Amino acid sequence: MGKQPKIPKATIKRLSLYYRRLELLEFDGYRMVSSEKMAWLCQVNPAQVRKDLGYFGEFGVRGVGYDVRELMDQVKRILAVNRTWNMGLVGIGHLGTALVNHQNFPARGFTFVAAFDSDPQKIGRPLGSKLRIRDSRELEEVAREKDIRIGVIATPRAEAQPVADRLSTAGIHAILNFSRNRISVPEGCVVENIDFTIRLDILTYRLKEALGM
């Protein structure tokens, strides 16, 4: 059996974008969509759409296009968002509170089942509609009890690495890191670092280019 090709990270990002555009197409009543229309909606070229999908099999009919609902289901399966994922949040400041209250997470199958902080004044307080802030010292026990699969770090920079170590020890192999500190994790654990300032740098560069500054 041949070795499966390594999928570029950029392809996975585009798949997520394709899925969101397919949702809008279905909402608008489209049953079929061409690679040309998908490319236009996602600001890529049609060959890129076909190449991205081609990593995972044969989709659509040449000269006809893709069945919107069927392609949505296939992309959901590829991205593993056709199920519910339990998440645990560590660090309940303004950002952490906003993340728990963000409605897009549960709407897409990502559910915060526990939230932790080390501040005694926060521990025990309600958070959102269903959670109470737990003591960070309970992290490992609760992670196993609640079957947490994704850890979210929203702590101050200096606390990020110790928290990442504890998440890994608790058997959590996926971390979404909102702290400004790049964390190290063992092999087999995956990390996505979210740095809003990088996005702002990209935005201001594009604005400069657009305005000819």
pLDDT digits (tens, 9 = 90+) for 159-201: 999 999 999 999 999 999 999 888 999 999 999 999 888 888 8
The model's pLDDT over 135-158, given as tens digits with 9 standing for 90+, comes to 999 999 999 999 999 999 999 999
Average pLDDT over residues 20-46: 94
The structural domain count of the chain equals 2
Residue ending a domain, among 79, 97, 118, is 79
Residue 1 clears pLDDT 60, i.e. is over it: no
Residue 124 clears pLDDT 90, i.e. is over it: yes
Q: What is the pLDDT of residue 119?
A: 96
Residues 69 and 135 grouped into a single domain = no
* pTM above threshold 0.85: yes
- The CATH number of the domain holding residue 115 is 3.40.50.720
Residues 14 and 67 grouped into a single domain = yes
Instruction: List, in order, residues 6 or more apart from 24 with CB less than 8 Å away.
Output: 41
- The CATH number of the domain holding residue 50 is 1.10.10.10
Query: Does residue 132 belong to any structural domain of this protein?
Result: yes
Query: Does residue 21 belong to any structural domain of this protein?
Result: yes
Query: Does residue 64 belong to any structural domain of this protein?
Result: yes
The model's pLDDT over 37-82, given as tens digits with 9 standing for 90+, comes to 999 999 999 999 999 999 998 887 887 899 999 999 999 999 999 9
Query: Does residue 213 belong to any structural domain of this protein?
Result: no
The model's pLDDT over 82-102, given as tens digits with 9 standing for 90+, comes to 999 999 999 999 999 999 999
- Domain around 181: 85-197
Residues 96 and 49 grouped into a single domain = no
Residues 24 and 106 grouped into a single domain = no
Assess contact for 187 and 173: CB atoms under 8 A.
no
